[in-house]
Structure 1
Amino acid sequence: MSSELEKNLQFLCAEKPSVAQVCREIGINHQQFSKYLSGRSRPSAHNLRRISRYFGLPDTVLCGSHEALLKIYLKKTRSLTERRRDPLATAFPGDLAALRPHLGAYQVHFTSTAAPGSIFVNAVFLDEVEGTVRSRLIEVLPEAPGRPRRWTRCDGKVGYQNGRIFVIDNETTDNGSLTMTILVPPHRQNKRYLFGKTLFLASVPLRAPTSSDVVWKKVEAYQSVREIISSCGAFERNSRKLDPLVRGQLASE
């Protein structure tokens, strides 16, 4: 008799172009995965978690009754159909499997006409939420005469299309503006860095549109969001606090 996990996996894979593609996108051995499909073997806890995350389902649902999985799957399908009424629904997230390796926390480095000679550092966090990837950017505004250090928050969406990462975010204030960023995924020897261009409104003069080269540097390990934010702000271009690779990339800006 087929197990519930076996039936659930067979059903979910039937919705994909091929089992081989599923294995590639999960990063799991095809021969081993075939044993799960046939019921000859059960995945380890680690592999079960990878498979369930790929299909966007909790482990308990993937291993639970087939009827329960069908109900949840049909509900998600209806939700996806509704999202597709949005002309950008397929662009965000686009290729979700290709985008997932880039989830996490980053320092965002760029220049601005508001402060020539400086490099600004913000923090951004990319998280998967119900099949989409959301961005949460913390913009740190440095101290100025009569003004203490403060920060603003921008929320947005992230998409992956044709080998590029697209980010559109918006300040969480009534008069907030949109920022658009296009990033190139890293070379295998520089996995911590994303390079690209960002288009935004400068705070002065007259909130004019401006653009800048941008470098996202991944933060591999941190204790808290506060720790990352504490490293943000405005720095002199030759500051030793900045990564030499970042300084070199933004030197001509």
Structure 2
Amino acid sequence: MTGIPGTDDKMTNFAANLRLLCDRQGSISLICRKLGINRQQFNKYLSGRHMPSSGNIRIVANYFGLGPEVLFAEHEHFRALVDGNFFDVLDHLRRAPQVVRFLDTVAVSTKIDMGEYVGCYDRYQYSSIYSRKILRSAFCIFQNGDFLNHYYIERFPSYDNPARTEYIFKYHGFTFPVEDRVFTIDFETVQRNEFTFGIFSNVQRSSKRFMFGIVSGVAATMFRQPFSTRAVLHYRKAGLLSRAELQSTTTLDMNDPSIPREAREYLGESPDMIKPA
């Protein structure tokens, strides 16, 4: 059985993960200025010689759009999340006893053409965070053994500086095509506090493939309230998500011309987000 990481392990993981994030950002001096943290002190974090205060941990986490606890994840697992290599994450999920029991319950014996569903999609829905904005996320379905898995990425720009990303959410889960319907269940792995569920209908229109459906999300805390809303999957290409798909993730005005007409018509003219009273 794996033991609970001690202080030394946490410090080592934090330092390695912070170095990885900084390598992707460029200038350490610029990062320190934006964080408001002394460069000499920041170097101690990078070298693993000093553990940041809880306040500085939150500052660093917010800057990189991550949950504070994610910064202390095992480095290889953290690299898998940051690099978009989600197979390791899904393998961990599939070995969990609760997931194994779930798969045994819902898996159907009917053979289907899994290749009909695999590929990359643009996913559109009204945002549960930004009022009257349509969220475009990057969604990918791929085959993993006898099952279909999926992952998708949401990015929310800052209100004050739209060029800067305020939040990033990453979901990993399972896809079940049953009788011309597609069921999805997934887990958010940055904040680690949300499940989402979806049911979609596969439709073909004017040589473009769409799946129209309903998705619901339930969080562990009321920081993100439960929601239910319409969603659209618009097929983009075969294979896994690339940088181009990830860079297109953002929130859009309701009438943004880049949103396919079919998606806008299905989502409707006004948000129909269902939330608790």
* Same-fold call, TM cutoff 0.5: yes
**Does the Cα contact within 8 Å between 1:133 and 1:158 map onto a contact in 2?**
yes
| 1:154 aligned residue | 171
User: What do the CA deviations read for 1:51-99 (whole angstroms, capped 9, x no partner)?
Assistant: xxxxxxxxxxxxxxxxxxxxxxxxxxxxxxx999725325247645244
- Matched residue count: 172
- Cα distance change of structure 1 residues 169 and 221 upon mapping to structure 2, 3 Å threshold: closer
**Does the Cα contact within 8 Å between 1:200 and 1:211 map onto a contact in 2?**
yes
1:117 and 1:174 mapped to 2: Cα distance? Answer: 24
Q: Identity, % of aligned pairs?
A: 20
1:162 partner letter: E
1:245 and 1:189 mapped to 2: Cα distance? Answer: 10
1:89 and 1:243 mapped to 2: Cα distance? Answer: 37
1:202 and 1:237 mapped to 2: Cα distance? Answer: 25
Q: CA RMSD in A?
A: 3.2
**Does the Cα contact within 8 Å between 1:202 and 1:210 map onto a contact in 2?**
no
2:240 and 2:224 mapped to 1: Cα distance? Answer: 36
| 2:138 aligned residue | 123
| 1:112 aligned residue | 127
User: What do the CA deviations read for 1:28-50 (whole angstroms, capped 9, x no partner)?
Assistant: xxxxxxxxxxxxxxxxxxxxxxx
| 2:157 aligned residue | 142
1:197 deviates by 0.3
- Cα distance change of structure 1 residues 91 and 221 upon mapping to structure 2, 3 Å threshold: closer
1:116 deviates by 2.4
- Is 1:216 the counterpart of 2:233? The answer is yes
TM-score (norm 2): 0.54
- Cα distance change of structure 1 residues 146 and 235 upon mapping to structure 2, 3 Å threshold: closer
1:249 partner letter: Y
TM-score (norm 1): 0.59
2:101 partner letter: D
**Does the Cα contact within 8 Å between 1:184 and 1:196 map onto a contact in 2?**
yes
| 2:214 aligned residue | 197
In structure 1, the gaps of 5 or more residues are: 1-81
Instruction: State the structure with more CA Rg.
Output: 1
- Cα distance change of structure 1 residues 188 and 98 upon mapping to structure 2, 3 Å threshold: farther
DSSP 3-state at the match of 2:103: coil
In structure 2, the gaps of 5 or more residues are: 1-96, 272-277
DSSP 3-state at the match of 1:108: strand
| 2:72 aligned residue | none
